[in-house]
Amino acid sequence: MDMTLRVYDHVLNGPLKPTPNKSHYTFNLRDISRISQGLCAANNRQCFEPVHLVRLWVHENKRVFGDRLIDEKDRSWLDKLLSDEGSSTFKLEVSDIFNVERIIFGDYMEGIDTDTRVYQQVKDIKLMVQKVIEFLDEYNSSVKIQMKLVMFLDAVDHVSRITRVIRQPLGNALLLGIGGSGRQSLSRLATFMANFKLFQIEVVKGYGM
């Protein structure tokens, strides 16, 4: 918790201050609770060494803080802050923490309908991509209007982020992007992977409460 509070203090008082083109750079104590929710979702069979817990902590901070950042300079600043805090507190080498292609955690690798979904690190990125493609095929087989998507790594990473948000208590997110960038399609797929039902509001004539 001390580590998280230090990062939060650096974020508030560092270069990530709201400006006209970064007006959404507003952070509050709810962000700490979201990080804590992610840490509490850890499984003792998966996070049994300090490096495992640090990776989960890095992942949750990057989801809560990093996903709001709009340029590489800000993301690099946050990455350095997280690596410095993680390595100094737990006396770990930065290379030990970031010795994977991407630090991604999710509870979908064991399937959709499993009763014991385990929030764990995705150790095989290629397997994750293949798993999401299988979810997409399963989704398309269950609906009339199919989604013809090319699931490259960044798209799969976005699906994982959306799934994480909506699986959390009171989880919510605002997806920003140009038209046709896949916000709606990836949200549909993430909802399916989370084993939730989708409800979409349609604004029509006579729309009211």
The 10s digit of each residue's pLDDT in 138-191 is 999 988 889 999 999 999 999 999 999 998 888 889 998 888 888 999 999 999
The domain locations on the chain are: 2-97, 124-193
Dihedral-angle region of residue 195 (phi above 0 means left; psi in -120 to 50 means alpha; beta otherwise): left
Residue 177 CA to residue 15 CA, distance in Å, equals 24
pLDDT in tens, 36-85: 998 888 888 777 788 888 899 999 999 999 999 999 999 999 999 998 88
CATH topology assigned to domain 2-97 = Histone Acetyltransferase; Chain A (1.20.920)
Least confident of 22-26, 141-145, 201-205: 201-205
- Residue with the bigger pLDDT between 109 and 116: it is 109
What is the average pLDDT value for the chain, to the nearest integer? Answer: 89
Amino acid at site 9: D
Half-sphere exposure of 108 (CA within 13 A, CB side): 31
What are the residues facing 121 on neighbouring strands?
105
Residue 162 CA to residue 194 CA, distance in Å, equals 9
The confidence score (pLDDT) of residue 139 equals 94
Residue 81's alpha-carbon distances to 1, 11, 74, 90, 96, in angstroms, are 15, 9, 11, 14, 16
Of 27, 68, 76, which Cα lies nearest the Cα of 161? Answer: 68
The confidence score (pLDDT) of residue 46 equals 76
The confidence score (pLDDT) of residue 78 equals 92
Angle of helix 29-40 versus helix 50-64 axis, rounded to 10: 140
- Is residue 171 a contact partner of residue 39, using CB atoms and an 8 Å limit? no
